[in-house]
Chains A and B, each alone.
Chain A
Amino acid sequence: MLDFAIYCLTIVAVWSVLGLSLNIQFGLTGLVNFGQILPFGLGAYAAALAAQAGMPWPAGAALGLAFAVVVSLLVLLPARRLSQDYWALITLGAGELFRLTALNAPALGGADGLTVPRFADPHLALACALALMAAAWFMAHRIARSPFGRMLKVLREDEVLAATLGRNPVTYQRTVSIIGWAMAAAAGVLYAHIVGYVSPSSFTVTETFIVWTALILGGPGSTLGVVIGAAAVQLLSVSSRFVAGWIDLPADVLANGRLALFGLVLVLMFLFRPQGLIPETKEVRDAERH
């Protein structure tokens, strides 16, 4: 039982990092990334490729981060001319391109994917995942509460305003993408070593929208909210297996019901609580300090 809880926590931590990564992109900056699975997959595949080549895991991690940074710049090239709904389509396409490539390139294992050495000790896996989550949390929180984060929020609210204040929006978007994608790639590296396998079926559009569901549920712009959203979504996934044993529903109905619930959550949150369960905190200046 404890082992199962440890495993669940590990998974929650990994998906929280993905959520935090999406949060600094969308929650803070307003960048609509419908290809969030791309940096995640890049990290995972880099870890797998490095392992296949007999390299140690830090090499895979470095490779994953490098891939993510380079690809984020490539995908961002068109961004300077595009409004956010187009940017959404481009990132969606880029994510699918990656999946198609993994599916069809024999060097990447094709549909059957690649093996990755698994963490020998689940406690170690949990420790690594928690450490990564803490690091991502620290970064995300630091950024959100900094002058940099303040300008990101200005950008989110109004790109024109940011330019009027003498800032080049593209520079900020680029920096955010690099940080966010590197974060997601790190999560991917860890994920590969936890699951022990990478295959294209783990990096579909559906996964991207699981992260989105977590973000919208938790509260865009809220670091704590996103982590809680990610935990809710993943734990819901896991605990629905117990519900199956309880109420005797066929497993496929339950699995689809869960996805239907995610869809419903996205819609209902937008309709009734767009700020999320834990709304972004208002940065209040304490007048008494001065």
Chain B
Amino acid sequence: MKKILSLAFCSALALAAVQGPARAADPIEIGVIANLTGSAVKTSVQMTRGVELAADAINAAGGIDGRPVKLIVEDSENRAQEALNAANKLYNVDKVPAAIMFGGSGLMIPVAELAKEKGRVLVNTSSSSPKLGNYPGTLFSILPLDDIVGKELGLLMADSGAKTAAIVVPNSTFGLGVAEAAAAAFEAKGGKIVKKVAFTEGQPDYRADIQPVVPAKPDVIITAGYGDDSRAMLKAARELGLTAKWYAAYPSILEIENKDFLDGKLFGVDNGGYSQPAGKAVADKYGAKFNGTADLMAHVYYGYDALMVVAAAIKKAGSAEPAAIAKALPDVVKAYDGATGKIAWDARGQRIAPPIDVIEYKAGDFVTTATRN
């Protein structure tokens, strides 16, 4: 058995060693870390597809200075240790200069620590924890922090004339972060929060969670969340007869459970994508490659922009060395008009002042009704 083990391990090492250091004509390898198993799989896959579309676009245009981009996709299983395993493999064995990652802060922060230690680049497409600002020069976020989006959401609610609101969010950093910022902005404009529900994700049914919201009779409901949990949550709300309007951060990542229930009653803010020409182009490519845009979520745009800015940085720096990429990144984004609109970073590499799209769900489609830059 010892023999078999050491054999397996050695062959793994040998396999990795074959890949060796990069030469000029070699492809540039970029890592992708996403939850391909475990939970939040759909959004992760959407992000990965976005990166793939970007890679297709780059390679179709002849690559970066003649070198094609090659993606190495690793699964994080939505567990910190597996995310670290994945990042360790990408940074230490595949020696990728940069990795694009989908995952909550619980996974993103350990990987950011490792990236910092190894002097590599990590591009965040999903996590919005304020702690991510602690890795300047290592971690760059395509997604803006929750407080920005949350505040815009709160203002939008107040503008609609709503007086009372209930909060129904998952008890994650994302859900609570959005809810807090939105509630603060809403209350500053004279609104009142009448009920707050923070549910644990991963439960099959949320009827008992939504139940207490019904007697509170709010005008609007602040929500955030994605995937199967959002679908189950909306189903419970519909069955319990909630008639309030919904205000969501990134409404496209909600899984719409019943079109009629939410038609004309779901609003929200997102940054870029829907109204930008670059976003439309990505959506078209998505439709061509993945059989239509029915399941398209905003994460496609984040993934797409993530790889695009990394590629632009490599091109500008004339080198795929991580330090050069990190140095070039803040410069190239200034000139980049991407699927999620213009990207502006603060000194920590966190996205600020994103263009905000105001979105309404009408007749089964997310319609951008206004854009604030």
Contacts and interface: CB of A to CB of B under 8 A. Distances in A.
B324 to A, nearest CB: 21
Interface stretch (B5-13, B160-168, B245-253, B254-262): B5-13
Given A11-B81, A251-B75, A1 B170 contact: no
A8 B86 CA distance: 11
Contacts of A254: 75
Contacts of A245: 15, 72
Interface string A165-200: 000000000000000000000000001000111110
Interface residues of A, number: 45
Interface of B: 1-2, 5, 8-9, 12-13, 15-17, 36-38, 41, 72-75, 77-82, 84-86, 88-89, 92-93, 104-107, 109-110, 113, 117-118, 129, 131, 170-173, 200-201
B27 to A, nearest CB: 14
A115 interface: yes
B6 to A, nearest CB: 10
A231 interface: yes
A254 B129 CA distance: 30
A245 B200 CA distance: 35
Given A1-B16, A201-B106, A252 B37 contact: yes
A231 B78 contact: no
Nearest to B16: A1
Contacts of A256: 37
B79 A242 contact: no
Contacts of A278: 1
Nearest to B88: A7
A3 B82 CA distance: 16
Interface in A85-99: none
A242 B15 contact: yes
Interface stretch (A129-137, A232-240, A280-288): A232-240
Contacts of A197: 80, 106-107, 109-110
Binding site of A, secondary structure by majority: helix, strand, loop or mixed?
helix
Contact of A232 (B1, B38, B72, B93): B1
Interface string A106-142: 0000111101001010100000000000000000000
Given A118-B113, A252-B36, A104 B88 contact: no
A1 B131 CA distance: 29
Contacts of B88: 3-4, 7-8
A191 B81 CA distance: 9
A238 B82 CA distance: 9
Q: Which of A7, A112, A236, A245 gathers the greatest number of chain B CB atoms within 10 Å? A: A112
A255 interface: yes
Interface string A1-39: 101110110010000000000000000000000000000
A202 interface: yes
Contact of A115 (B36, B38, B131): B131
Contact of A202 (B73, B79, B129): B79
A205 to B, nearest CB: 13
A110 B109 CA distance: 16
B36 A112 contact: no
B41 A252 contact: yes
A250 B107 CA distance: 21
A195 B84 contact: yes
Interface in A57-104: 103-104
A111 B170 CA distance: 9
A239 B37 contact: no
B28 to A, nearest CB: 16
Contacts of A112: 104-106, 129, 172-173
A251 B8 contact: no
A7 B89 CA distance: 10
Nearest to B75: A251
Given A111-B171, A195-B84, A255 B13 contact: no
